[in-house]
C-alpha cells in the first residue's frame, strides 16, 4: 500500500512498452544513418531539381497547406547526377521544418505565412533555397542544428535527424554545402549548393561509420 503496488503493477507494462518502442525507433534511425554513410554511386542518375522540388512540395503539402502559401522561383538549370530518393528526403525535411516554423507564428490566427523555393545556376553549381516566414532560429541553436538527435521540437514531432542527414547527404556525399541565414522573428533560409558534376565527390567516398563534423 505504501508504494501503491497496484498502480505500479498496471502502469509498469505500459512504461516498458514505451521503452521498447523508443528503442525500436532508435534502431531504425541508426540503421538509416549507417545506410546514408555508404557510397550510392550505383544509384546515381540525372536529376531535374525543379521536378524533385515539385514532388517534395506535393508530398509535404499536408504539413503546410493550412499555414503557408508556396512561392516558386524555378530557373532553368542543368541536371545533376544524384540519388533522387535522398535529395527528395532532404527537400521534404526542409519544407516540413519551414511549415512547422510558420505554424508556430500563425497558430490561432487566420494568417498564413510563406515558403519560398528558388533554384538557380551559379557557374559550376546549382543552388536550391528554401525560405520561410517563421519564427527564425536563435544563434545558440543555429550552432547545433546539424548535430544528430538535436531538436527543439516537442517529443514525438521530430527525431533530430532531418538536418544532420541533410548535411551528410549534401556535404559528405555530393561535395556541396549548406548555408543557413536566419534571424529570430524574421524567418529562415537554407541555401543548398550542389556541383553540376554531382557524382565526383560520391565516387571518392569510402565505407565508413556515421561520423559527423562540427557544425559549419
Backbone angles phi, psi at 89, to 5 degrees: -65, -40
Distance CA 120, CA 52 (A): 14
Distance CA 179, CA 75 (A): 20
Expressed in percent and rounded to 5, the helix, strand and coil fractions of the chain are 45, 20, 35
Ramachandran quadrant class, 173 (left: phi over 0; alpha: psi -120 to 50; beta: rest): alpha
Average pLDDT by stretches of 10, the chain with 216 residues: 73 86 72 49 79 91 93 95 89 93 91 96 92 89 73 53 85 91 91 77 42 39
pLDDT at position 214 is: 40
* pLDDT, tens digit, 9 for 90 and up, residues 133-161: 998 888 888 777 777 655 655 544 554 56
**Judging by DSSP bridges, how do beta strands 113-122 and 68-74 pair with one another?**
parallel
Distance CA 91, CA 87 (A): 6
pLDDT at position 102 is: 95
C-alpha dihedral, 200 to 201 to 207 to 208, nearest 10° = 180
Q: SS3 for 132? A: strand
Distance CA 75, CA 81 (A): 18
CB within 8 A of 84, min separation 6: which ones? 45, 47, 52
Query: Global pTM?
Result: 0.69
DSSP code, position 139: H
pLDDT at position 40 is: 47
Amino acid at each position: 500500500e505504501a508504494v501503491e503496488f497496484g498502480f505500479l503493477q498496471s502502469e509498469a507494462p505500459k512504461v516498458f512498452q514505451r521503452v521498447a518502442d523508443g528503442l525500436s525507433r532508435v534502431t531504425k534511425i541508426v540503421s538509416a544513418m549507417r545506410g546514408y554513410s555508404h557510397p550510392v554511386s550505383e544509384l546515381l542518375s540525372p536529376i531535374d531539381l525543379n521536378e524533385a522540388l515539385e514532388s517534395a512540395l506535393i508530398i509535404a503539402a499536408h504539413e503546410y497547406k493550412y499555414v503557408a502559401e508556396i512561392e516558386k522561383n524555378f530557373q532553368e538549370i542543368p541536371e545533376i547526377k544524384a540519388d533522387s530518393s535522398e535529395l527528395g528526403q532532404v527537400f521534404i525535411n526542409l519544407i516540413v521544418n519551414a511549415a512547422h516554423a510558420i505554424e508556430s507564428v500563425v497558430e490561432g490566427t487566420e494568417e498564413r505565412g510563406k515558403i519560398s523555393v528558388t533554384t538557380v545556376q551559379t557557374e559550376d553549381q546549382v543552388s536550391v533555397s528554401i525560405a520561410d516566414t517563421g519564427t527564425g532560429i536563435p544563434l545558440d541553436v543555429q550552432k547545433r542544428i546539424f548535430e544528430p538527435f538535436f531538436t527543439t521540437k516537442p517529443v514525438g514531432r521530430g527525431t533530430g535527424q532531418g538536418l544532420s542527414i541533410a548535411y551528410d547527404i549534401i556535404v559528405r556525399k555530393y561535395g556541396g554545402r549548406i548555408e543557413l541565414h536566419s534571424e529570430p522573428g524574421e524567418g529562415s533560409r537554407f541555401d543548398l549548393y550542389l556541383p553540376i558534376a554531382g557524382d565526383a565527390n560520391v565516387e571518392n567516398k569510402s565505407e565508413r561509420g556515421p561520423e559527423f563534423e562540427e557544425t559549419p
